[in-house]
Amino acid sequence: MDVWLQQLLNAISLGAIYALIALGYTMVYGIIKLINFAHGDVFMVGAFLGYYAMLLVDGTPLGANPWTKLLVALLVAMVGSTLLGVTIERVAYRRLRNSPRLAALTTAIGVSFLLEYGTIYLRGAQGAQPEAYPTLFTAHLDLFGATLKMDALVILVTSFLLMIVLQFIVQNTQTGRAMRAVSFDMDAARLMGISVDRTISVTFALGSALGGAAGVVYGLYYTSIDPFMGLLPGLKAFIAAVVGGIGSIPGAMVGGFLIGLLETGVSALGFSLFRDAVAFIVLILILLVRPEGIFGEHVREKV
């Protein structure tokens, strides 16, 4: 039993990371119906920003305590990712808002490559080489025979707190109400005096901030980052958003945990070579059986 409890704890930690990334995909799609494939690379940039922030505070009073070090890394990653996400929306996507979806999708892929190879260029000679992420916490908890590393506990607490904050913003603030109004009917929202451009920018900012935080907790969990790290987790998080019902915030959370559970379960059963494939199998099945996802609603499009 302790083995399966251990796997369950691992699955929840991994699922929390996927859920954080998936929220960025689902929020942007919910507002402007864009699949922002560059979001996985915003997550990558957040991981590097957190990494360099930790290096900068090493040897200072802030770096002496792992909690303050983590807080600085999260703040730097979230602020940097927010600025990056808003810049991408303003420069690359805003002018394409009324263009065919294929144009915006192609642009998103281009931005993704730009971020990956831009990061390699900025890193200089070490380029695409992976970087070892600092280990902040070495303690662990014994829970009914299973071992829960402090890193995993930090990931869980951080992820759940951020999801609660996001849910509060969306459901209980004026900005959240504006986001829901724009998502429901952009033209009607504009007629009601809502600044659509500002609301979309805020949506990108929130999604990118969550992506940046996910980059830091991903680095803590896997202890290694590289400029191409956003590709596979980004695709899995996108699948999580589709499985949960893209455009639905609760759906993205549930989808993230579901993908984390399946991936860890497949590895625990001895099929670790197929742990990446299982997410894509789930995507195919959900598109065949319930294309709108678990929490999605079937919407007919007028011709």
Res. 44: pLDDT tops 90: yes
What 3-state DSSP class applies to 5?
helix
Res. 298: pLDDT tops 70: no
Judge whether 162 lies within some domain.
yes
pTM value? 0.89
The answer to which of 123-127, 132-136, 161-165, 235-239 has the lowest mean pLDDT is: 123-127
DSSP codes of every residue in 203-224: HHHHHHHHHHHHHHHHHHHHSE
Q: Which of 108-117, 145-154, 176-185 has the highest mean pLDDT?
A: 108-117
What 3-state DSSP class applies to 147?
strand
Share of the chain above pLDDT 70, in %: 96
List the CATH number of the domain containing 191: 1.10.3470
The pLDDT of residue 301 is 54
Measured distance CA(212)–CA(42) in Å, rounded: 7
Res. 143: pLDDT tops 80: no
In angstroms, the Cα distances linking 287 to 34, 254, 266, 300 are: 18, 17, 21, 16
Q: pLDDT by residue (tens digit) across 255-285?
A: 999 999 999 989 888 888 888 899 899 989 9
Judge whether 303 lies within some domain.
no
Residue 115 banded pLDDT, cuts 50, 70, 90: very high
The pLDDT of residue 300 is 59
The pLDDT of residue 223 is 87
The pLDDT of residue 149 is 76
What 3-state DSSP class applies to 64?
helix
Measured distance CA(134)–CA(13) in Å, rounded: 18
The pLDDT of residue 96 is 86
CB atoms within 10 A of CB 147: 13
Judge whether 244 lies within some domain.
yes
Q: Residues 246, 248, 251, 257: what is their CA dihedral angle, to the nearest 10 degrees?
A: 80
Res. 299: pLDDT tops 80: no
Structure tokens at 45: 């940039």
The pLDDT of residue 303 is 47
Residue 292 banded pLDDT, cuts 50, 70, 90: confident
Q: pLDDT by residue (tens digit) across 77-105?
A: 999 999 999 999 999 998 888 888 888 88
The answer to which of 84-88, 94-98, 142-146, 171-175 has the lowest mean pLDDT is: 142-146
Judge whether 300 lies within some domain.
no
Contact 255, 236 (CB under 8 A): no
Res. 297: pLDDT tops 80: no
Residue identified by tokens 């596979």 is 232
Share of the chain above pLDDT 90, in %: 36
How many domains, in total, are found in the chain? 1
Bridge partners (DSSP) of residue 263 are: none
Res. 1: pLDDT tops 60: no
- Backbone phi, psi, residue 147, to 5°: -105, 120
Which domain covers residue 283, as residue numbers?
1-131+139-289
Amino acid in position 264: T
Question: What is the arithmetic mean of pLDDT over 50-59?
Answer: 91
Judge whether 298 lies within some domain.
no
Judge whether 295 lies within some domain.
no
The pLDDT of residue 171 is 86
- What is residue 255's DSSP assignment? H
What 3-state DSSP class applies to 142?
strand
